[in-house]
Amino acid sequence: MSGTSLDGVDVVLADLGLHQHTLIKTFFLPYDHALKTKLLTLHYPGNDELNQAALLANQLANLYAQAIAGLLENDPYLLQSVLAIGCHGQTVRHCPQNGKGYTIQLVNAALLAELTQTTVVADFRSRDIAAGGQGAPLVPAFHQALFMDSKHRRVIVNIGGIANITYLDPEVPVTGFDCGPGNLLMDAWCSDHLGHPYDKNGRWAATGKVLPDLLEKFYADDFFINPPPKSTGRDLFNSGWLENHLQGSESSEDVQRTLLQLTALSIVSAINQYYPSTDEVFLCGGGAHNTLLVSDLEKHLPDKKVALTDELGVPVDWVEAYAFAWLAQQTICGQTGNIPSVTGAKGKRILGAIYSA
């Protein structure tokens, strides 16, 4: 999995047995600055896009192969035990537009299969969009498989570049949606002003104050007003979107604090508006490490338990990569992977394209 945050590649080795799922090993391979810059450039119209996209897809395939090699460490037993690789690819455009749009996750999956001599499953989102869905989020089906509990109404919150939520209630169908920016705006602002890739534990944000008028401007965006199903990405929430809301006189730390508040309150508002009976909230993704963000969520959800998915047996950094291993297995076994009540698709679909070894 390489997500909207563009920090690198998360790889997991998962044993998805009939009665028990086990996370065996994990590995992370960071993106270098040059690759991240090239990928960011492809989010916007420019010259030579097709050629650059194809070259980057090849580069990503090689990088993913390196990451898999790092995970398996040339262990003959592990190499032989891998049945398939689930590869999300790197999202550079996500414009679902109610089934009439498209989504692009860059990777040359054929090359990855050739490099690893292993079956690869990729392009998970396109079939859901073809069926009238948003193509995202896709992780709720995995959340249901691993985290559903017969005694509790749970929300799983993934705070990556974008934040998305899944509602797990044993008495109703699973639902969920993208609720707003997660880390991507905070990370971009921190990088621009401090030269750091992210604001560790929200320390810089903690030196600023929330600007109510700016927060109100953020919330005026139609995305927050529109009901689910909905999904989003850098196509909407990007540095240009942020700059369009600024007067220019704001202190940088106040903007950072307000962005953190936007992430927190968009999650809180989504839970309170659509899932008020929730009694447990479990966080995952990089944002779960931001102690100030977690503190804000706890403060605004006083009647609910707020914890990390570590408590459920899956560390916060590996939930999404684990999900795409599970989705790959669904594809290989001819089982559906989307949830229409989440994405808005016309029905359940088998997701992904298979590139055999």
Q: What CATH number is associated with residue 196?
A: 3.30.420.40
Q: Is residue 1 part of a domain?
A: no
- The pTM of the full predicted model, rounded to 2 decimals, is 0.95
Q: Which residues neighbour 235 within 8 Å (Cβ) at sequence distance 6 or greater?
A: 43, 93, 94, 95
Please provide the size of the chain in residues. 357
Same domain, 259 and 147: yes
pLDDT, residue 143, reads 98
CA 235 to chain centre: 14
Same domain, 268 and 147: yes
Same domain, 307 and 162: yes
Same domain, 115 and 31: yes
Same domain, 91 and 27: yes
Domain housing 243: 140-316
pLDDT, residue 192, reads 95
User: Residue 20 and residue 13: Cα distance in Å, rounded?
Assistant: 14
Q: Is residue 3 part of a domain?
A: no
Same domain, 348 and 283: no
pLDDT, residue 18, reads 80
List of the chain residues with pLDDT < 70:
98-99
Count of the separate structural domains present in the chain: 2
User: Residue 325 and residue 331: Cα distance in Å, rounded?
Assistant: 10
User: Residue 308 and residue 288: Cα distance in Å, rounded?
Assistant: 7
